[in-house]
A and B are shown apart, each in its own frame.
Chain A
Amino acid sequence: MPDDAAEFTITINGEPSRVAPGTGLAAALINAGVWTIRASTTGEPRSAVCGMGACHECRAEVDGVPGVRACMVVCRPGMNVRTSDA
């Protein structure tokens, strides 16, 4: 269960964002209002769908590594995340 007491900061597209420990990255992105996580091959906005690593729709760049499924990663302090604009 995310605990508000010990929030930390991650960076989303250059902006700092506070997250509770235990928060999944896809959840953190949406909590921060970043609904579009990737652009599809034809440029459509896409976001988390299955929430369990199956659909690959929430791929983001995490600490320089592209194609990371945001729903399969738990936020860590200082994590640097980039999403694509559609």
Chain B
Amino acid sequence: MRERFFDIAIVGTGPAGLAAASEAVRAGRSVAVIDESPGVGGQVWRGSGGGEAARWRTKAEDATFLLGAAVYDAAPGRLLVNTPDGAVCVRAGAIVLATGARELLLPFPGWTLPGVMGAGGVQSMVKSGMRVEGKRVVIAGSGPLLWAVAATLRSRGADVLGIAEQAPGKAVRALAASLWRSPAKAVQAATLAWQTRGVPKWTGSWPVRAEGLGRLERVTLSDGERTMTLECDLLGVGFGLVPNTTLASLLGCRVQPAVVGGAVAVDAAMGTTVAGVYAAGEAVGIGGVDCAILEGRIAGLAAAGSGERAMALSPARVRARAFAARLESAFTLRPEVLALADERTILCRCEDVPFGEVVGLGSWREAKVHTRCGMGPCQGRVCGSALAAIKGWTPNDARPPIVPVPVSVLMDQPAATAADHPPKPDGAAV
């Protein structure tokens, strides 16, 4: 296996990863930035062309970008990466995890029909060229992302039939009323409100059923008392975001279970519980793009040894996290949305395990052993976080390879130690 050596390896090219890269490069370090996607920007800046992603990439242009490249195994000081040109062992003195988040998708009857996507999923598909002109779209689930998705869809000519937010109207109004404390957020909220003007917004409402013959034709929403059925082409439904912590778990970093699916535990300098491994952005808890940039910069500076400059950014980070905490409490999931699946609803989409086969079991491990739930290619990224939300189970059992790779890649073992850049002692053990 080829080996490449860097001072700092950063996983993820979203806001946190690019911000970390720009600071690390500015500090004169050799930097690798790795992302599974073919382009930079992560989810939030995906397809933004010459926008934010390009601006930050320019700041980090001296970094080596490994794109379309998935980290499938790791130990402190070492990442095994499946790149378009074959497997590479990336050795680095410090690793920054900017692995972002995925959507929390919750099972309900019909959620596996083609045309039912995540809300962020719809956003991402539109950004990658899915045409939605004239398509009837319902947006549902929870959180500020729903409004952003509706705004994007509208700008591309979709007929957005409405936004169903599960949080009660009074929680959303209280949050809106408190935005004067965060003027920049108030401006963002006002912009989204303007961009989605005229789109019905149903608070305290959620999808209970999607139906269609081989493809989505209609969705039924409920407010707990009444239901409403809408004919539509697309349903974008996401119940918030879940930090991507698999790589952190594999590296041995502590993952705190307080958040659905867990969040990587970090200190004020974004250091994880494993020496030489830092984490930033959504991976340490859902905080949004501004928070991710700040944390990426802190992690990049700290990894580059500029601890003092990193700590100067701490107060701003504390403010950003406080706002994130207010958002999270406003959009707390109601029990009804955690109880939408019936016995026959598919829970594990990879292995087609129905909810009824899992609901009576006692743990994530038991579910995997008895039903193959979470044993397919997504390795529980969908059903595992759904069960974390529904049952409180914590699926922190990351094992390599953390993404599917061809056997030829698995057979290609790296050297036990690198002669000229010896890894740290705990890295050599794996």
Contacts and interface: CB of A to CB of B under 8 A. Distances in A.
Contacts of A74: 38-39, 128
B112 to A, nearest CB: 6
A59 B404 CA distance: 12
A49 B319 CA distance: 34
Contacts of B118: 49-51
B302 interface: no
B146 interface: no
Contacts of B46: 52
B129 A49 contact: no
A66 to B, nearest CB: 11
A18 to B, nearest CB: 12
A50 B38 contact: no
B293 interface: no
Given A49-B105, A54-B378, A24 B352 contact: no
A19 to B, nearest CB: 8
A4 B89 CA distance: 39
B128 A55 contact: no
A36 interface: yes
A71 B102 CA distance: 14
Contacts of A12: none
Contact residues of B: prevailing secondary structure: loop
Contact of A48 (B39, B117, B346): B117
A47 B113 CA distance: 8
A53 B37 CA distance: 8
A10 to B, nearest CB: 12
Nearest to A43: B352
Contacts of A57: 349
Nearest to B117: A49
Contacts of B346: 40, 44
Interface in A32-79: 35-37, 40-42, 44-57, 59, 67, 71-74
A1 B131 CA distance: 12
Interface stretch (B119-127, B184-192, B196-204, B303-311): B119-127
Nearest to B349: A57
Contacts of A37: 114
Contact of A20 (B105, B120, B129): B129
Contacts of A47: 114-115, 117
Given A40-B349, A44-B352, A67-B377, A50 B102 contact: yes
A27 interface: yes
B429 to A, nearest CB: 30
Contact of B129 (A2, A42, A55, A67): A2
A55 B125 contact: no
Contacts of B129: 2, 19-20, 22-24, 27-28, 31
A50 B47 contact: no
Contacts of B116: 49
Contacts of B117: 47-51
Interface string B56-80: 0000000000001000000000000
B383 to A, nearest CB: 10
Contacts of B126: 27
A46 B349 contact: yes
B231 interface: no
A40 B125 contact: no
A46 B47 contact: no
A50 B377 contact: no
A51 B123 contact: yes
Interface in B8-42: 36-39
Contacts of A53: 36-37
Nearest to B378: A56
Contact of B120 (A40, A51, A59): A51
A83 B378 CA distance: 19
Contacts of A52: 37, 43, 46, 102, 120-121, 124
Contacts of B123: 51
Interface of B: 36-39, 43, 46-47, 49, 68, 102-103, 105, 112-118, 120-126, 128-131, 214-215, 244, 346, 349-352, 376-378, 381-382, 404
Given A50-B118, A53-B37, 6 more contacts: A24-B129, A31-B131, A40-B112, A45-B114, A49-B118, A55-B382
25 contacts: A26-B125, A26-B128, A27-B130, A36-B114, A36-B214, A40-B112, A40-B352, A45-B214, A46-B112, A49-B116, A49-B121, A49-B382, A50-B117, A51-B120, A51-B124, A52-B37, A52-B43, A53-B36, A53-B37, A54-B378, A57-B349, A67-B377, A71-B125, A73-B38, A74-B38
